[in-house]
Structure formats: structure tokens, C-alpha cells
Structure 1
């Protein structure tokens, strides 16, 4: 990026509000994952890989809690990476890499991580890639390190209630959009594309992600992810957090 964004805090705020409208319990899942980082880390300098980290939302929250933390944000989206780089500046490392390519690990700093966290990102990958990625993530963790993935993961035992929860969430979301309390996903990207500093990044993004990119979503239950973590070699795996139809699974190396 040739220059930092002029208003990175404002862009981060707009992103957070847009995301919170989509996931009202977004901060709760972040807090649960950061508590896991604190639990496995000695001292106040945790080493975090913010996987598919977008604007660096998780990293910024970790730095607010542990100012001496060492964070690496990895993503492929040019717009979100520009925001992450502008927000983090010299407080972290930003890596451009494609998680569909097993070679993504070659772009990381050599030191192993205490924690790898990701949120609402891996459901764009096919199942065989997610399983392989879990094993790759394990390799970049130190012994005793933790991995957590928060995403859409329904409870198989509550199909009827899950449907009602989704409908309720959608009504609340649409009300926020209608009143202007938050920006919708399409509208946020329109604003980013109209910004003088982000416009070129938005064009680059359109080349990376075809128009039908978000047509594919693979959303298995949390039990699938727990079993995939065990298959990947994590010595412990389970559900760290649940909120309605979303959950965070965690694996301990």
C-alpha cells in the first residue's frame, strides 16, 4: 500500500457496525477466544495469528488487552488488508496469502504462535480444504498452543429452534438497516469502492473474488469441526462458545 488510510479508525468503526448487525453476538465470540489465548499464554506477550483476519478486528482487540502482544494478520482481500495495515501500523505484521493454497505458511514469520484465531471466514472453503487447513494450522502452533474457529455452526439437536433463531436474527438485522443504525454488506462495499484510497483496492478485489464467489457456503454443525480437529492431530478439541446458531470450536496442540 502506498499510503495509510486517512481515517482508519472511522473505517474500522464502520466495518464493526456492519459486522455487528450481521452477528449481534460478535463481541461475545471474540471475548471467548481471547480468554482462551490468555489461558494458554504465560506473560503478556502472546503471539497471535489472526487467520483470514480481514481488517484485523481480532488483533486490535488482543492488543487492547495485551499491548505487548505480537500479532500477524493474514488475509487475501486487498481492501481489508489496507484497513488492517493502516490500523496496526508498527504494532503488527500483515500478510497477503490465499488459504486455499497450502503454501500460505511459507509467508509467515518463522516463530510459532501461541494462538491462531479465525472468525466467520472458513465456511467459504470446501470441506476437504478445511480439514487439511486444520492440520496446517496445528503445524504453526507451539506445543500447548490453541486454535479457535468461530463461525456458523448449528446445533444438530435443535433444527426447529435454529430456524426460528435465524428468522429472529434476520428481522433484527433488517430493522437496523432500515433505520440506518448499521450499513448492509453490499452498501459497505459500495462506500469502500467510492473512497479515493480504497477504490483501486476494490477493483483488485473484484479480480480476486469473482461475482459468484459468495454463492458457495459450506456450513456443517460444530460436531463436524470438532471431529476434524481431532483428525488433524489436536490432542483436545471441543466447543469453546455457542451463541444461537453460531459457535466457536477450539483445539489444543
Structure 2
């Protein structure tokens, strides 16, 4: 690894020449601010998913798979909440994996795997997870792949284990209000960008690409995610996800949390 002492967004010291490690704390802080500009209730969805983990592990330290986990956001919150938690972050993004690895160090496992490939499970260190959690990630996959992935995730859970997916899932019975909520959120977000309170998604990635540590990872990322591919988003209503979970064999499936046009669905093996 390289050594990064300057934080992104101009909120840190200057980089020290010739050093070779990532300042994970500052990159995490920058990532959190950038993501919170998109989702002001981001922490609420994490809390709801971790509440479900707590309710289904009877006080045991959970074995948790942070699926498409990026910088390890969910894992870091699980470690803070559950003493002795066993966390695994799985993602394919080289930039985010580098930050996750620097953040977790010896407190968790970081795995590079492509969820569009059904063979992703072969890279896991174990199965029998208490929970598989993912947030704002699976909308990059097409419908048929998401449906198949739900069944694959079920196979890595212990009996009674849970899978929760929080993402953009509009309420189909409120189309007019949902459109107004999206427009309102966009206006608030754009104001935050204009005042410098948050960095936009494209600007955050420009900062990463300009950093001496993460620049090689950013080049690798562009090869993995060509711009045309990464602009695709597929965001069906929560009811689609609930039905897909039931079709995948979960004994229970439903909506765990909702905030505006986002929701978290959960399935119980």
C-alpha cells in the first residue's frame, strides 16, 4: 500500500512525499459525506439492518458478509456495535477495496469478486453467515442477475440467517409523491454541492484518480467498469424485490425499512 496523509475534499494535511499507506480514516470520512449527500437517511437504513442482525443472533457475535461492500461502511458499523463480530467485505472496485483494506486491517476479511459471475461464492472464506447485508449497490445489475443472486446469497446463510438489501426502491402506489420526493432531494443535494458542504459523486472519483496512492487503482477501476456500463441503473419497487426473495426460497420476506423512495427488504432463510 501507499501512504496517504492528505484527505480528499481539502479537509486535511498535505501528503508526505515518499510515504506509502492510505489514510483510511480521512478517505472514509470523505466517502461518508459524499454518500450522505445522496442519502441523508443513510445511517437509519444501516441501523435498521443491524437491528435485524442483533435480533437474530441472540447476543452472539455475528458472522456478517458485507456484499458489494465498497469501503466497508456496513462492516465498520457492525464492528463498532458488536464486540467480536466476524466481518467479510466483498466487492470488485479496486479503489473502494483499497480503502476497505486499509480501514479494516486485521479486523476483517476483504475479498475481490464479481457478483455478475455466479462463481463469486467460491472466493468466500466460509459459508453459514448469520447475515448478508448490502446497500445501494445491486441496482447496477440487471433484473435476472439480481433474482439469481438472491438465491445464491440464500445458500451462504445459516438456517434462520438474514439477507437485507437497502437500495432505491420507490413505492409504486405513490408515483406522484415519489417524483416530488426525488425532485426535492435533488434540489437539497445540488445546494450542498454548490455551497461546498459535500463533494458530488463524479468529483469524488476525480479526487481519487488524482491521488498518488489511489490513481493506479482508479485506472484499474476504469477497465473493470467502462463508463457506459456503470451508467446503467435498474430500480424496481420494493414489491419486486420481496417477490424475488420469496421465489428464491426465503421462508419470510418483506420490507424492513423505508425512507422516501428508498427501502430495505429482508429475507429469512
1:88 corresponds to: 104
TM-score normalised by the chain length of structure 2 = 0.92
Aligned residue pairs total 253
In the other structure, the counterpart of 2:39 is 23
Provide the residue aligned with 1:124 in structure 2: 140
* Structure 1 residue 45: Cα displacement: 1.1
Alignment of 1:152 with 2:152, yes or no, is no
Which residue does the alignment assign to 1:104?
A: 120
* TM-aligned CA deviation for residue 222 of structure 1: 0.3
CA distance in 1, matches of 2:156, 2:22: 34
Residue 111 of structure 1, CA deviation: 3.6
2:181 alignment counterpart = 165
For 2:197, which of 167, 172, 181 is the aligned residue?
Answer: 181
CA change 1:150–1:37 in 2 (3 A) is: same
Q: For the Cα contact (< 8 Å) 2:86–2:108, is it kept in 1?
A: yes
8 A contact 2:2–2:21 mirrored in 1 = no
SS at match of 2:249: coil
Aligned residue for 1:251, secondary structure, equals strand
Deviations 1:227-249 (A, max 9, x none): 00000000000000000000000
- Of 218, 237, 240, 1:224 maps to 240
Residue-by-residue CA offset, 1:93-112 (whole Å, 9 max, x unaligned): 00000000000000001241
Tell me the SS of whatever aligns to 1:136: helix
Question: Match for residue 235 of structure 1?
Answer: 251
Provide the secondary structure at the position in 1 that maps to 2:74.
helix
Does the C-alpha gap of structure 1 residues 64 and 126 become closer, same or farther in structure 2, counting only changes over 3 Å? Answer: same
Please list the CA deviations of residues 114-136 of structure 1 after superposition, one character each: whole Å capped at 9, or x if unmatched. Answer: 00000000011010000000000
Match for residue 135 of structure 1 among 114, 135, 151: 151
For 1:194 and 1:177, the matched residues in 2 are separated by 20
Structure 1: give runs of 5+ residues left out of the alignment. none
Is the partner of 1:157 in helix, strand or coil? coil
Rounded Cα–Cα distance in structure 2 between residues aligned with 1:109 and 1:220: 32
CA deviations 1:66-112 (Å, max 9, x no partner) are: 13100000000000000000000000000000000000000001241
Residue among 90, 93, 99 paired with 1:77:
93
SS in 2 for 1:80: helix
Gap runs ≥5 in structure 2? 4-19
Aligned-residue offset at 1:2? 6.8
Partner of 1:53: 69
Structure 2 counterpart of 1:115, from 111, 131, 144? 131
SS, match of residue 239 in structure 1: strand
SS class of match (1:212):
helix
Q: TM-score by structure 1 length? A: 0.98
